[in-house]
């Protein structure tokens, strides 16, 4: 795709995931055979599955990860690399919906999730550039700044969590843009290279003796029971395109790529596209001007943008198209995101865009993360853009709950996992164009 401004060629970006150029991603050159029997079979080779596999294998559990493509292929190596505190929903909404006790537990999990990422990286010596840069939430309109003022007070009062309000006058110390009307900084959040992290997590799971099977798309899960005195043990036969495996337990961590193999879960999860562009390398001076503190930055809009620096490149993402990634949605998104980036940073109008790519996020209908067990199949889904840290932590904690037999005590298992309104959804998100239009309308009227 070529985009022109006047007569000047602005960019011919590669439809390639920039992060993949920074590390040797797992490939399918040396496929591990599908084992005949395991204790736990995990479907999905991203953060959730790999974190769970590492946790289980370290406890001498025989575990296999079944990935449809190559390990780390999906959103785990395509995202913006932000390890964020909080949930997709504002904590005020969460508190009203679920009550103070559960809300506090859920928020604490978000803090613990960043700690988990930091701990795994340290223990496994993963070179992925993790640092607690902090995140900056920017106010797109003057009244948004008032909301941020209330948010700072609310989070300290209800959750004992300190954030910092940035006045419009002081915002220049955080971002080299005149577009915004103040902001909020949370110093606990961090950032990393997501592809380097998922590769390191995969190596850590393998080191713990988990079996990672790529190109093992699951076609069917068949549940059966057999009597083993004095208790009855559930068993599953999992059919993959490379062979079958028998497992005592199954964990689904397929996020935005959840298929009709787990139909009940698929009907609860909406796959939504998110797209990113990466610029050419910027000078040190320009990079510092754009983001003096190298924050993880996202705005207040419903149709939000998120961006940060990595290796002096501007990594700029957003919901340019709600449908999941394909050649056409990626191509259209490059121009949309470039225009959004220049609106934020006019300094970048003559900077080349070198890469554009997309990934698929998983949203539940209540915009919350959910874990639990359904007919003997465990799951962790619905990260809604917070998956780098949360999927790492929930992979670990759900695995621990599976071993302990107390999944119902997990905070994210205590909240209802809803179906679509009137059950008008069978896995094909026909309503995404309308949802995208509605979010744009909300941004306009607000």
3-state secondary structure 66-102: ECCCCCCCCHHHCCCCEECCCCCCCHHHHHHHHCHHH
- Split at pLDDT 50, 70, 90, the class of 1 is very low
Is pLDDT at 3 greater than 50 in this prediction? no
Is pLDDT at 446 greater than 70 in this prediction? no
Q: Can you tell me whether residue 261 is helix, strand or coil? A: helix
* Sequence-ordered list of residues with C-beta below 8 angstroms from that of 29, at least 6 positions apart, any chain: none
Is pLDDT at 354 greater than 90 in this prediction? yes
Burial letters 415-428, b for 16+ CB under 10 A, else e: bebeeeeeeebeee
Distance of CA 379 to the CA centre of its chain: 15
- Split at pLDDT 50, 70, 90, the class of 370 is very high
Instruction: Express as a percent the part of the chain with pLDDT over 90.
Output: 80
Is pLDDT at 405 greater than 60 in this prediction? yes
pLDDT for 438 equals 41
Is 224 or 104 the better-scoring residue by pLDDT? Answer: 104
Peptide bond into 228 cis (omega under 30): no
- Split at pLDDT 50, 70, 90, the class of 226 is low
Instruction: Express as a percent the part of the chain with pLDDT over 70.
Output: 88
Q: How far apart (Å, rounded) are the C-alpha atoms in residues 44 and 216?
A: 10
Joined together, the tokens standing for residue 47 give 């953060």
Average pLDDT on 381-402 reads 97
pLDDT for 431 equals 53
Provide the whole-model pTM: 0.92
Per residue in 20-51, pLDDT (tens digit) is 999 999 999 889 999 999 999 999 999 999 99
Is pLDDT at 187 greater than 50 in this prediction? yes
Under DSSP, the state recorded for 301 is -
* Sequence-ordered list of residues with C-beta below 8 angstroms from that of 445, at least 6 positions apart, any chain: none
User: Which of the residue ranges 123-132, 289-298, 301-310 would you say has the lowest mean pLDDT?
Assistant: 301-310
Q: What residue spans define the domains of the chain?
A: 3-134+187-445
Average pLDDT on 401-416 reads 97
- Split at pLDDT 50, 70, 90, the class of 439 is very low
Which CATH code is given to the segment(s) 3-134+187-445? 3.50.50.60
pLDDT for 23 equals 98
Joined together, the tokens standing for residue 114 give 């960043």
- Split at pLDDT 50, 70, 90, the class of 429 is low
Average pLDDT on 426-441 reads 54
Q: How far apart (Å, rounded) are the C-alpha atoms in residues 70 and 51?
A: 16
pLDDT for 376 equals 87
- Split at pLDDT 50, 70, 90, the class of 433 is low
Average pLDDT on 54-59 reads 98
pLDDT for 7 equals 29
């Amino acid at each position: 795709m070529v985009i022109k401004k006047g007569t000047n060629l602005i960019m011919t970006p590669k439809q390639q995931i920039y992060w993949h150029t920074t590390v040797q991603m797992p490939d399918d050159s040396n496929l591990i055979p599908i084992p005949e029997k395991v204790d736990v079979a995990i479907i999905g080779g991203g953060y959730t599955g790999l974190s769970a596999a590492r946790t289980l294998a370290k406890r001498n559990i025989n575990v296999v990860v079944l990935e449809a493509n190559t390990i780390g292929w999906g959103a785990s190596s395509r995202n913006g690399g932000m390890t964020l505190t909080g949930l997709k929903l504002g904590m005020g909404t969460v508190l009203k919906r679920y009550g103070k006790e559960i809300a506090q537990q859920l928020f604490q999990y978000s803090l613990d999730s960043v700690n988990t990422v930091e701990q795994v990286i340290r223990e496994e010596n993963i070179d992925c550039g993790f640092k607690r840069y902090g995140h900056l939430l920017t106010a797109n309109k003057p009244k948004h700044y008032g909301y941020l003022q209330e948010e700072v007070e609310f989070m300290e009062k209800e959750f004992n969590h300190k954030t910092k309000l940035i006045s419009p006058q002081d915002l220049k110390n955080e971002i080299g843009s005149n577009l915004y009307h103040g902001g909020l900084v949370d110093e606990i959040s961090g950032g990393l290279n997501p592809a380097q992290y998922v590769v390191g997590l995969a190596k850590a799971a393998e080191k713990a003796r988990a079996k990672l099977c790529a190109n093992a798309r699951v076609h069917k899960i068949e549940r059966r029971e057999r009597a083993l005195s004095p208790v009855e043990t559930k068993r599953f036969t999992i059919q993959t395109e490379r062979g079958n495996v028998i497992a005592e337990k199954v964990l689904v961590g397929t996020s935005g790529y959840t298929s009709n193999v787990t139909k009940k879960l698929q009907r609860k999860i909406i796959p939504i596209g998110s797209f990113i562009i990466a610029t050419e390398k910027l000078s040190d001076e320009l990079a510092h001007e754009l983001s003096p503190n190298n924050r993880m930055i996202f705005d207040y809009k419903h149709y939000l943008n998120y961006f940060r620096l990595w290796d002096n490149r501007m990594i700029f993402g957003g919901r340019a198209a709600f449908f999941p990634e394909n050649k056409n949605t990626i191509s259209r998104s490059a121009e949309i995101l470039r225009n959004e980036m220049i609106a934020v940073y006019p300094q970048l109008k003559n900077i080349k865009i070198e890469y554009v790519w997309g990934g698929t996020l998983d949203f539940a209908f209540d915009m919350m993360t959910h874990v639990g067990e359904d007919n003997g199949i465990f799951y962790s889904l619905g990260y809604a853009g917070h998956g780098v840290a949360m999927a790492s932590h929930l992979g670990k904690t759900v695995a621990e709950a599976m071993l302990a037999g107390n999944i119902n005590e997990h905070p994210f298992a205590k909240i209802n996992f809803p179906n679509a309104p009137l059950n008008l959804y069978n896995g094909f998100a026909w309503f995404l164009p309308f949802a995208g239009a509605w979010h744009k309308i909300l941004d306009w009227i607000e």
